[in-house]
């Protein structure tokens, strides 16, 4: 799961969320720091209104939280969702350990992270590699760098 900071950068870059069951999110309000929620047809469901989407909390009276506006929720996309967002630009994901012969060189712009994951993309004939300690972070970094996010709407 990506960090809220990385998820926020994706949202600022234009990533739009249409909540579906299984999606994870955090609430960006005081008092909810560190709490991760999961959309579920049983407890947290997306409810569409003319004024916008609201995440309704069913059966959680102990929290006294009935609903939260989608704008107050920050989606934490899963690895498979991030990979899907890359679309046809995605070439491969590979694991690289520090002793691997195919460990990428540290070019300064994309420093090598020992025991990491590399996502390779091909955009406009340009091959690029994005390295991170976690596959989801590598996918998110690729999305942010290649600019494939603006205006994109995704469902789970």
Q: pTM to 2 decimals?
A: 0.75
pLDDT digits (tens, 9 = 90+) for 40-97: 777 777 888 999 998 887 765 545 567 788 999 999 999 999 999 999 999 999 999 8
Can you give the pLDDT at residue 44? 78
Cα–Cα dist 90/97, whole Å: 21
pLDDT digits (tens, 9 = 90+) for 118-142: 999 998 899 999 999 999 999 999 9
């Amino acid at each position: 799961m990506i960090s809220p900071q990385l998820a926020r950068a994706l949202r600022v870059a234009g990533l739009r969320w249409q909540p579906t069951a299984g999606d994870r999110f955090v609430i960006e309000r005081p008092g909810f720091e560190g709490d991760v929620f999961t959309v579920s047809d049983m407890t947290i469901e997306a409810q569409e209104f003319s004024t916008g989407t609201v995440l309704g909390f069913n059966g959680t009276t102990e929290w006294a939280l009935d609903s939260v506006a989608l704008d107050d929720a920050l989606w934490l996309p899963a690895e498979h969702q991030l990979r899907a967002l890359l679309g046809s630009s995605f070439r491969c994901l590979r694991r690289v350990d520090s002793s691997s012969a195919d460990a990428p060189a540290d070019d300064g712009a994309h420093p090598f992270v020992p025991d990491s994951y590399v996502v390779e993309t091909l955009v406009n004939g340009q091959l690029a590699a994005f390295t991170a300690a976690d596959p989801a972070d590598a996918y998110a970094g690729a999305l942010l760098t290649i600019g494939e996010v603006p205006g994109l709407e995704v469902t789970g």
